[in-house]
A = this chain, B = another copy of it.
Amino acid sequence: MNPLEFHEKYKGKLSVNSKVPLKNRIDLSLAYTPGVAEPCKEINKNVKDVYKYTIKGNSVAVISDGSAVLGLGNIGAEAAIPVMEGKCVLFKEFANIDAFPICIKSQETEEIINIVKNIAPVFGGINLEDISSPRCFEIEERLKKELDIPVMHDDQHGTAIVVLAGLINAAKVVKKDIKILKIVVNGAGAAGTAVAKLLLKEGVGDIILVDREGILNKNNKNLTFHKKEMAKITNKGNKEGKLNDALKKADVFIGLSAPNVLKADDIKLMNKDSIIFAMANPIPEIMPDEAKKGGAKVIATGRSDFPNQINNVLTFPGVFRGALDNKVNKITDEMKLNAAHALASVVKDVKTEKIIPDVFDKSVVKVIANSIK
């Protein structure tokens, strides 16, 4: 079956079901009127009881405005629904979380913030998804401040956690201390920015961020606000130039960008035993064979048909499972670092082709959930 036939067959991937019996008048009087008035009155007296009597304690909204969906760009709210439904399926299957897709028509920052705040009562967590940069930064920051439930933009932090986990184990393979690694991150959007920030929190040696225009550095007056901020905290030597210039003497390449931007000769510019995370999907920045020709030692991609698949599905189910179970109302940088180390620790026998757990490894969710507290 191809993906279109698959989606047409099931007519969407989610169903909403009753957890309670409803076969007779007694059931009806408990689940609906008149009995339902009792939990309503209790919640009205003490709003915290919403966790006791409703779905809030296990529900997450998967929210997108359809402005940056997969690699497809700004395809709008309706066209984003299949991805958001898919995400909800993953929430259920991996973490037993009841997630529901909310696709917002507006792409105005203030309006999106207002809408999410207003529909938050029934949700125990907010997973922001596929919202374009730099709007995603303000939307997430503001919602974190203004809501008392956990809010996470998965494209940013889900990616950052899994990348750091992979890097922790890759560094073990090449026997380099993560504290001295020189890292090039290609792509300065939502994912690239969050990856760079989390790696800096972990204490890596240096990071150079590269976007389509070249290296982000402090001399460049044309950068947007958020890229200027990133230039301030990265690129210690204030290098200028293109991706090639950044790669010279680097230990790690992290691609969150576009297909085929690298060749073996580019990898040769890097230090010995280089680490390559080529995560553009479905076609990576460089194919594993080509990277190996250039001398790369550890290679990871976003694809399931190569070893070392770096995929957010390893992180967001566990992060929200932990946040819900441990009544965490903010997902902090410390929790993200802990989650990355927890995820890395799941791989017992770290080796070149095994730096990250398999996406279907059932132990991952619990280990990450335990780290979110």
Q: Which of B31, B81, B118 contacts A56 (CB 8 A)?
A: B81
Contact with B along A13-55 (1 / 0, CB 8 A): 1111111101011001111111111111111100100101111
A80 within 8 A of B: yes
Q: How many copies does the complex hold?
A: 2
CB atoms of B89 and A20 under 8 A apart: yes
**Are B10 and A89 neighbours in the complex by a CB distance under 8 Å?**
no
Known contacts: A18-B89, A118-B106. The answer to whether A4 contacts B53 by CB under 8 A is yes
A92 CB–B CB distance under 8 Å: yes
Complex Cα–Cα for A81 and B33 (A): 13
Chain A facing B: main interface SS? helix
A131 to B302, CA, bound (A): 47
Number of A interface residues in the complex (CB < 8 A): 95
Docked complex: A80-132 residues within 8 A CB-CB of B: 80-90, 92-93, 98-106, 111, 114-115, 117-122
Q: Are A121 and B78 in contact (CB under 8 A)?
A: yes
CB of A315 within 8 A of chain B?
no
- A residues contacting B by CB (< 8 A) are 1-4, 6-8, 10-20, 22, 24-25, 28-44, 47, 50, 52-59, 69-72, 75-90, 92-93, 98-106, 111, 114-115, 117-122, 281-282, 302, 304, 313, 359-360
